[in-house]
Structure 1
Amino acid sequence: MSISIINVGYRSTNYWVVSAGASRLLVDIGWPGTLGIMKANLKRMGAPLAEIRYALATHYHIDHAGLAEEMKAEGIPLLVLDVQVDAIPLMKTWTKPTDRYVEITPHGNVVISFGESRRLLSQIGIAGEIVHTPGHSDHCVSLLLDDGSVFTGDLPPEGYAFDNPVALGTWQMLRRRGATRIYPAHGPVRPMGETFAGGKG
């Protein structure tokens, strides 16, 4: 089945819906307290909330995972990689009461290893895997599809990571594994190797 990709982002952050028919994965989950905006964007783009099978945060910073618990309350499981578990409770330390952040609980989280990701994704019709992509933070992950599309969150653009050997190593790994087109959390979609000095989350 062919894969479709749409952007339901807002507030300068991209949130990607990766779909195999009506079976969908949300990559990065929204700012806290913005469930109404997320629902409206999903509906406007033809990706109903009820069709999202999992929500995946590339990392646990407030603009990427702020809606996770609210989405779980809507019936969408949170897909968590084992390297991310310890980062989840730390996210609340970066929030203010005005953010209306709902703390993420372990209940309803689906915790997997990277090695298990391909099988889980195949169950919802998506050919690809989730890979560890440190460089912005140690617990960052990316969705890498078999067609070369890669959803990199806040991984610093390769052309601007000359002083970040961890990020450079991550980009080299992604290239070896077949990544050809980058879907970042900030800024436009671009081919692998093209530089973009976009915003940082």
Structure 2
Amino acid sequence: MLARLRHWFGLLLAAITVTLLLALAALVVVAVVFRKLGAPLVWYDEVAAVLLAWLTYYGAALASLRRAHLGFPELVEALPRRGRIAAVLFAELCVLGFFALLAWTGWQVLQVLEGETLVSLPWVPVTLTQSVIPLAASLAIVAQLLTLPEMLSRARAGGRLSHAEAEDAQPAMPAADPAPAAGGRAR
């Protein structure tokens, strides 16, 4: 059940992240074309910055789910069993605390920015653009909680704590073929 929920949550975060990436890329291309035509988009810089921020925050939530953030799993794996469990719990509490603080602070920022709008698009409220902070932080908390049981299980069993899924998903580099091409000489 938890694995299935984690899978669908990962697909949702990946879809959001890919959509934001494609939107940002399309916006950059459109902006370049309009600039070349002598009619630059006045709102491009502001919207591109917002899309990049959204991509960063949602990507961070996805990285949390995939356990792809910077860490020291080999150091924790070298500890005795009780030390591994304590280190994993301590790290999880720190990460959850950070994202909870980020969500709370992000919510406070939204209260301060109430009524403000983008400069180049006055009909877009700044609270909409900044809502990504508490929202993505909350999604990162969900991601951490969805992967916590597996991390504790690995710590108890002495298994790998690194993001093995990401490492296993990487294709191996093909070996160079030492045989010369047909009818040719080796270079």
TM-score calculated relative to the size of structure 2: 0.23
- The structure with the largest alpha-carbon Rg is 2
In the superposition, the TM-score normalised over structure 1's length comes to 0.22
Instruction: Tell which has more relative contact order, 1 or 2 (C-alpha 8 A, sep 6+).
Output: 2
User: Which of the two has greater strand per residue?
Assistant: 1
